[in-house]
Amino acid sequence: MRYAHEVGNVRAAEGALMARLPEGTLMQRAAAGLARVCAGLLDRVYGADVVVLAGSGDNGGDALYAGARLARRGARVRVVAAGSRLHQAGLADLRAAGGRLIETAAAGEAVAEADLVIDGLTGIGGAGALREPHATLARAASEASGTVVACDVPSGVDASSGRVEGAAVRADVTVTFGTLKPGLLVDPGASYCGVVELVDIGLGPYLNDPDVVSPAAEDVRPPLPGAESDKYRRGVVGILAGGDEFTGAAVLATGGAVHGGAGMVRFASVPHAVELVRHRWPEAVTTVIEPGAKALDAIGRVQAWVVGPGLGTGDDAEELISAVLSTDLPVLVDADGLTVLSRRRDLLTRDAPTLLTPHAGELARLLDADRTAIEARRLEYVRRAAAELDATVLLKGSTTVIAEPDRPVRVNPTGTPWLATAGTGDVLSGLTGALLAGGMSALDAACAGAYLHGLAARLAAGGPHPEAGESPISAYDVITALPDAFRTLR
């Protein structure tokens, strides 16, 4: 796992560590790590043209001390001050090393000419939109032809949430200190960071539990069959999806479950949807059901339910969703099922695990909130949803985030923008439902499902020759790539 801590947590750890160290030690550790990364990004340090954009706080001090280290190795280092104050000791060290301060009016030309630009404007203390001259300097850095390195977090990105309001530095590399910050992992902030390099400055023993975690491949552990496994021990997932109008969702959700490791997939719906699923996935056990509270009785025993994709939002769908949520089994609700829940939140009052998988628009309906606000503040809203709805919530989007009450938010690191195509969410529902049926908790199933889904999409988009670049994919391509995604975990 990669662990991320919000600003308050980081500040408390820094304070506890600094109380045990000589003054300035922590800043020197950060500056040394920053300078080391910057040196590695240059063809050679001697003679390189480096511009430091320095704010008035400790972040500016880190950047100035790093600039001084590069100047002592022969780099030409110039500093642009954002405002009237700078970290005086850092500036003195840089001047002693041969660096010099230039006027803000000359910043645009200097940044454009630089081999490397160090963004030390705001750091983790920055909040809200950048003011002038910071905003102009951030835009200049973002347009630079040289390599741009952000110090701790790109200026203009909220370190704790990933929010971006107005101008922000688009970095090629972000060098962050002590621990990752959530804003480096969650869009829109994550899209400004480039490659993130973590420099250890000794905070580890002083940090509280992480606020956000992001899994690596070794952390994703879907259930594996053993010598004594049979189709029932591996997990039976029931899927209620599709209708006379929307049949594709039924086929795709079932495909996600078939390739998601389920021992058996039971699919139930109206006759036409059943016919299509039976034709495409003959291994699925299919049942034609009539609307009503007793519809589940005809399906047979399952260990988890997936309900909602293509189901419709009328009275019949509501009755079926109510019946599923009245069981004592884990239930994943997606798509049309979420629309029904937006007017029937009372159905979520249950003791068994419930996993909701909305995109921003669906979550906006569930919370009576603004979609744009959700997309800008994904962490805030996924936490709110988990608390208000008393459920595990997987918020799909450019960064998929997963929340459960009183647990660190999980951030999925896989995926590709090519997933933004019809039907991929249905595949995710079936895949994650299979993992639920296999015995995973709602949080772990959501995390593993998102990881495998994103990885399968990358594999499908890259094909056999990833160096040629990614190409468009369909939802069905994601299904067919799932076995390869599972194999990468082993």
Residue 221, token pair as written in the block: 């552990």
Query: How is domain 217-488 classified at the CATH fold level?
Result: UDP-N-acetylmuramoyl-L-alanine:D-glutamate ligase (3.40.1190)
| 62 annotated binding-site participant | yes
Q: Is 390 annotated as a binding residue?
A: no
Query: Any known ligand binding at 128?
Result: yes
Annotated ligand binding at 60? The verdict is yes
> What does the pLDDT look like over 404-447, one tens digit per residue?
999 999 999 998 999 999 999 999 999 999 999 999 999 999 99
Ligand-binding annotation for 33, yes or no, is no
**pLDDT (tens digit per residue) in 347-389:** 999 999 999 999 999 999 999 999 999 999 999 999 999 999 9
To the question of whether residue 426 is assigned a binding role by annotation, the answer is yes
* pLDDT given at position 469: 63
Ligand-binding annotation for 425, yes or no, is yes
Percentage of the chain modeled with pLDDT above 70 = 98
Please say whether the beta carbons of 418 and 217 come within 8 A.
no
Answer yes or no: is 349 a known binding residue: no
Q: What is the dihedral of CA 177, 181, 184, 189, to 10 degrees?
A: -120
The DSSP H or E segment spanning 2 is strand 2-4
Whether residue 400 is annotated as binding a ligand: the answer is yes
Q: Is the dihedral of CA 174, 180, 181, 185 positive or negative?
A: positive
Say if 2-214 and 217-488 have the same CATH topology: no
Give, in degrees to the nearest 5, the angle at Cα 288 between 286 and 291. 135
Q: Share the mean pLDDT of the chain.
A: 95
Percent helix, percent strand, percent coil in the chain, to nearest 5: 45, 15, 40
15 is in an annotated binding site: no
Non-local (6+) Cβ contacts of 187 within 8 A are 162, 378, 397, 398, 399
Q: Where are the domains of the chain?
A: 2-214, 217-488
CATH classification code of 2-214:
3.40.50.10260
124 labelled binding-site residue: yes
Q: How confident is the model at residue 127 (pLDDT cuts 50, 70, 90)?
A: confident
- Is position 125 annotated in a ligand binding site? yes
* Helix or strand run (H / E) with residue 252: helix 248-258
Residue 396 annotated as binding site: yes
C-alpha dihedral sign at 316, 317, 318, 321: positive
Q: How big is the chain by its Cα radius of gyration, in Å?
A: 26
On whether 255 is known to bind a ligand per the annotation, the reply is no
Asked whether residue 61 is marked as a ligand-binding residue, the answer is yes
Residues in the chain: 490
> What is the mean predicted confidence (pLDDT) over 251-273?
97
